[in-house]
Structure 1
């Protein structure tokens, strides 16, 4: 992707209103209290200074930044391949924290990202993987008349039309969201502009495709899990 494309997406979004164990007692008559299970860091969600979701131990030795586009098939493959080994391994152990940064390639990414970020922080990881896992079902050619529906200058209406036409709206209602909740999230132009600016900044920093990754602030020459995994293992040591 070129800087020109990022600038175009940014311009479109902005200008056209887009596009914790109690101690054991020494008294023999008192039963020992069960130990508290160790914290599963893969269930911990927080926010980065920039506002992006972070999964895992915020103080982990390794910070993995994922630049992800919801319309990128390679991103869906990475999400599938890395989900179990990464989350149940080094992330759960508190060794790696993942920061997910949505990356816009097109107008559909804008709508999908707003839906992934919809609701409380606790919903993000489920939303993220649900959209990625169902990508083969919803990522298709837009239906007839889509371009006209997507041309409206009403940002919320535009994003809703994209979500409905691509099947993302029904995917999210199946996850328990009400239409009112989805409409509110899809109308968040301020967040869309912020993510568009973040995409542009990423491209200026050398990110020219998705998925792309940074390990402790350094952009990696890796775009799939089998290449990224040994790099993470080396960083953990």
Structure 2
């Protein structure tokens, strides 16, 4: 069995492995920097509309050449990640990414089979839809997790299904197909996306490899210009961004 398949099957076998270890140690305090001037977006565009898929398969929102690069490792079945999305995502994007000084890259850390299915569904549309779809999952967290609880029984027999049907069955059981259909990803589009089991499982493999490489064992975990942060709340993170030289759009 390939490493990729071992990771995927291990993920299916642990549907609600949501409790991770304590946060990783940071690499030191971010040094104070002079405030950066805002960077103009290309003509006719806004930085908040520009998305780049990175080599790590993260979705980077904003100026690809921003001097302050923020990465979040987040799980779509993580309550703390949902809390950050509900309290910090809008000001992060509207006040900081919009200036062209900060870019925000979201990478999936996969915790369970439902998480893996959601991560693939968020990728089923154009790259520009990834952040909004992930945000919809987190801002409707109770609804999504209610579907996860109801869909637990589907995992008992999912391993006996053909590979191209397994993640479709999980999505159907948890109500994900209807959830995403209401947000622009049709059921047929979602089914076709989930039928590519190799693409689904590759998300889990990248999650495991990157988390092991970077020592990330909790979500959300933020990395600023290559430095793993201890901060988790928006209030704390905004202070770090400002220390690194970012300023809200109104002050730029």
Question: Number of aligned pairs?
Answer: 214
TM-score normalised according to structure 1 size:
0.81
State the match for 1:80 in structure 2. 86
Is the radius of gyration larger for structure 1 or structure 2?
1
Shift of 1:209: 0.5
State the match for 1:49 in structure 2. 55
Deviations 1:94-141 (A, max 9, x none): 011111111111111110000111121122122111111111112032
Q: Is there any run of 5+ residues in structure 1 with no aligned partner, and where?
A: 1-7, 20-35
Query: Runs in 1 of length 4+ with deviation above 6 angstroms?
Result: 15-19
Q: 2:176 aligns with which of 168, 183, 186?
A: 168
Residues 198, 162 of structure 1: CA spacing in aligned structure 2 closer, same or farther, 3 A cutoff?
same
State the match for 1:28 in structure 2. none
Shift of 1:200: 1.6
Answer yes or no: is the 8 Å Cα contact 1:115–1:182 preserved in 2: yes
Structure with the bigger RCO (C-alpha within 8 Å, sep 6+) is: 2
Residues 86, 38 of structure 1: CA spacing in aligned structure 2 closer, same or farther, 3 A cutoff?
farther
State the match for 1:13 in structure 2. 8
Deviations 1:28-75 (A, max 9, x none): xxxxxxxx9774211111121233211000010111111010000100
Q: 1:154 aligns with which of 162, 170, 189?
A: 162
TM-score normalised according to structure 2 size:
0.76
Q: 2:150 aligns with which of 138, 142, 147?
A: 142
State the match for 1:196 in structure 2. 204
Give the whole-Å Cα distance in 1 for the aligned partners of 2:206 and 2:153. 31
Give the whole-Å Cα distance in 2 for the aligned partners of 1:116 and 1:67. 15
Q: Is there any run of 5+ residues in structure 2 with no aligned partner, and where?
A: 16-41, 247-252
